[in-house]
Chains A and B, each alone.
Chain A
């Protein structure tokens, strides 16, 4: 069974204080790893898809990386508007379902 574990559960940052979120996964052949951002009371918003180890993708202050066992979401010089819950999900090669982690809630203080 596919498993996704995100850490830490919560992260409090000062504005401008860079940090990383971790997503550890086990899957029988990875089709894709997905990162989403979710604001309170809203649906998840798609950020990135990573397909193979070594791949990196960037969007503004966010950078996602992938190894064979985990993915990192790096937040560089965060701003208060980066405050949200970040979700990681994996899709196995032989399946269509996404297995989600419980998320990391990031709070950025001005």
Chain B
């Protein structure tokens, strides 16, 4: 595996379900991110981790719960979601957080549909 991988690629869940999204980066990066992408809207930053510590929680509802067990893996735990949470969820990683303008590399995303 190379780059940033995400599983599952597609997920349909009911409003009462609990599910998790998984992200793995194979780039040796120290920072990882979760974004939400809705149609016709800019990417919205949700969470940022640097060296496994959460440094950003961008006013995200508590029904989204991130977890970063090590610098290569990132999870997004989902529970009691709303239909408006349906979107493409993207994971990204970058070499560092603040030391220089490091580009972020994105995974293919998980297309989430909440019914």
B103 beta carbon closer than 8 Å to chain A: yes
Query: Is B81 interfacial (CB 8 A cutoff)?
Result: no
- List the B side residues contacting A31 at CB < 8 Å: 100-101
Chain A interface size range: 20 to 34
Give the distance in Å from the alpha carbon of A49 to the alpha carbon of B56 in the complex.
23
Partner of A43 from the list B42, B56, B98, B107 (CB cut-off 8 Å) is: B107
Measured CB to CB, the closest approach of chain A to B42, in angstroms, equals 4
- Tell me, yes or no, whether B66 is within 8 Å of chain A by CB: no
B 63-115 contacts with A by CB, 8 A: 88, 90, 92, 97-98, 100-101, 103-109, 111
Would you give the shortest CB distance from B34 to chain A, in whole angstroms? 12
A33-54 interface code vs B (CB 8 A; 1 in, 0 out): 0101000011111100101000
Q: Which of A57-110 contact B (CB under 8 A)?
A: 87, 89, 91, 96-103
| Bound form: Cα–Cα A96–B55 in Å | 10
Q: How far is the CB of B7 from chain A (nearest CB, A)?
A: 13
**Total A-B residue contacts, Cβ distance less than 8 Å:** 57
> Chain A contacts of B4 at CB under 8 A?
43
CA distance A99 to B35 in the complex (A): 11
Whole-angstrom CA separation of A49 from B100 in the bound complex: 11
Q: For the complex formed, measure the closest distance between the CB of A2 and the CB atoms of chain B, giving whole angstroms.
A: 11
> When the two chains form the complex, which single residue of A97, A98, A102 contacts B40, counting CB atoms closer than 8 Å?
A102
A11 within 8 A of B: no
Is A4 interfacial (CB 8 A cutoff)? yes
Residues of A within 8 A of B104 (CB): 34, 46, 98
Residues of B near any A CB (own CB < 8 A): 4, 6, 31, 40-43, 45, 48, 50, 55-56, 88, 90, 92, 97-98, 100-101, 103-109, 111
Measured CB to CB, the residues of A under 8 A from B are: 4, 31-32, 34, 36, 41-46, 49, 51, 87, 89, 91, 96-103
